[in-house]
Structure 1
Amino acid sequence: MKPAGLSPPEPQAAAPAGSRLRRVLRAGAQTPSRDETDLVAQEVPVALEYNGIGHATLLASPTDLEDFAFGFSYTEGIIRSARDIYGVDIVERPEGIIIQVDMASACLNQLKLRRRSLAGRSGCGLCGIESLDEVRRDLPALPAPPQPFSAAAISAAVDQLRARQPLHLATGATHAAGWAGPDGNIRQVREDVGRHNALDKLIGHLIRNAQDTARGIAVISSRASFEMVQKTAAAGIPVLVAVSAPTSYAIQMADELHVLLAGFARGSLFTVYSHPEYLSIPGSPT
């Protein structure tokens, strides 16, 4: 039922993927109120099933869900590579979306080991964790990247990310994760209402296309939590750059997993919290 006093929204065809049109009332203490149309980001329950077994339910944007299936499965340690997934079906229901993943039977044991009840995953990403041993995965430290990354490339990637977020520009309610080459040019961006989901979607795209992840930079529009670092390392990406701040656990994990972690990346400035040796700055001592 529509709120009293608001006219029906305009046709949905005008709304970009992942958003919906909504009639709203613009109001303020010093200005006359007015009835307008606004775009809001969709947030939909998304359930993942593997070979018919329900595993997790999260809230996500209903876009790039096949990438999400691959990325989530990989960063959660359920699959070993993109080849372990034989097919993905997206089933829409009135109450939400089901992603049905057909995967190699050899991965079922990993599914049981990693199984969580992730209903309504929170910002910290730990809903459903039953013990402290499940907080972090046992991941090997990454090898040093083939060559250092320039400060100019990192700044360029951050700058380009801002213009590559159409859903955020339309709604103001989504996060983004971008992939840039060593030159700093953004090649792919994925958006979602959840920052973890955006990164999983990006990683899913990378592994599906056999991208050499050791030769690029991941840039995120959010803060850097430990799980964002863990997902980055699981995907073999040596650099994670956040527009906002990292947490102490994220820094500790970046130290241990050999990930260059940078935060507060705005304009041409950023702060490096771990592995500055991966960074090449003209004129700096070697």
Structure 2
Amino acid sequence: MDFLRQTDVIQWKDGEYSTIKENSVDDEYTYLFIDYLPPRKFSTYPKDLEDFAIGYCLGEGLIKDYTDIDSIKLDGTNVLVTTKLSHDPEEDLEQDGIVQERKGNCEHACVCRLLEYNGVNSDNAGGIRSEMKTIEPNMSDLTIDATQIIKDIKHLTDEAKIWQKTAGVHVAQLKYGDKIIIREDVSRHVAVDKVIGAAARQGYDFAKSYISYSGRMPADMLIKVIRVGIPIIISNAAPASSGIDVATMGNITMVGFVRDNRFTIFTAPERVNLEK
């Protein structure tokens, strides 16, 4: 199912107008329930929601590895995630002011400090970035040819089937050797979460993987790739200064403005073979 909707619209072009049918994305709200944390609400293109849940948990630091997840259940567009990680319920819930929930003899609380990573908080779920303190630099020796960057963005566009029909979604692509995963979503964050989640399920080595996607590159997007250990991020769009700062601290290679036959490297240029 493509989750597309056709609407009769009036199109004006060169002084003439006509009634045509236009495709649009039939986006829906998705609620993500992780253990006993408060539910989180997202507007999504409601496909590949299990991949999204895994990638979100990894990117937000709620799990360290795919194996930390016990189960994922889908109820329509509601996603229920149970992890193996929990702190002492009394301690965690007293600090967060959340009412404790009990099932038999089992007490379950929120997993590790929400959105916390070395003093940097992600803001793509409504949180607020805190002052940056320390981020462990990514030491991956992965490299990519300059010409490959151009090819990757072209491949991204060629395979963005929902975008081609609607121009209403973002698309993300994760490449690991000769393996490629592509996902689309109305949210650039969710699109990236989906490819990260799918790669985690398939056991890809993130230190040897990189992401190409459509969308800006602010700090919260860079924090996501830093957490999972991806060393290179490529976009046809611009970075934000906050993203450049985080990429510099995390030794992430950030490539932007990939258009036609050009691009701009903002950080860690040593991973790009400029002569190829």
Q: TM-score, normalization: structure 2?
A: 0.82
Given the alignment, which residue of 35, 49, 73 partners 1:89? 73
Does 2:61 align with 1:61? no
The alignment partner of 2:58 has SS state of helix
Task: Return the structure number with greater strand share.
Answer: 2
Deviation string, structure 1 residues 249-280 (Cα, Å, up to 9, x no partner): 11111110010001001123110000011112
The runs of 5 or more residues in structure 2 that have no matched partner are: 88-107, 117-121
Which stretch of the first structure deviates more once superposed, 274-283 or 238-247? Answer: 274-283
Does 2:113 align with 1:113? yes
Given the alignment, which residue of 102, 115, 118 partners 2:82? 102
- 1:238 aligns with 231
C-alpha distance 151-32 of structure 1, shift in aligned 2 (>3 A): closer
C-alpha distance 279-29 of structure 1, shift in aligned 2 (>3 A): closer
The CA distance in 2 between the partners of 1:256 and 1:38, in whole Å, is: 44
- 2:139 aligns with 143
Q: CA deviation at 1:47?
A: 0.8
1:177 and 1:199 in contact (8 A); partners too: yes
The alignment partner of 2:5 has SS state of strand
Does 2:18 align with 1:22? no
After superposition, residues 65-84 of structure 1 pair within 5 angstroms as 65-84=49-68
The CA distance in 2 between the partners of 1:178 and 1:239, in whole Å, is: 12
Identity %: 23
1:43 and 1:60 in contact (8 A); partners too: yes
1:158 and 1:265 in contact (8 A); partners too: yes
Deviation string, structure 1 residues 6-48 (Cα, Å, up to 9, x no partner): xxxxxxxxxx5232222333346721432x3221112211111
Given the alignment, which residue of 139, 159, 162 partners 1:167? 162
The runs of 5 or more residues in structure 1 that have no matched partner are: 1-15, 117-123
The CA distance in 2 between the partners of 1:195 and 1:104, in whole Å, is: 28
Q: TM-score, normalization: structure 1?
A: 0.79
Q: CA deviation at 1:88?
A: 1.3
Q: CA deviation at 1:239?
A: 0.6
C-alpha distance 244-82 of structure 1, shift in aligned 2 (>3 A): same
Deviation string, structure 1 residues 211-246 (Cα, Å, up to 9, x no partner): 012223210111211111111111211110110110
C-alpha distance 106-264 of structure 1, shift in aligned 2 (>3 A): same
Q: Read off the aligned partner of 2:263 and give its amino acid letter.
A: F
The CA distance in 2 between the partners of 1:153 and 1:186, in whole Å, is: 14
Instruction: Please tell me the root mean square deviation across aligned C-alpha atoms, in Å.
Output: 2.6
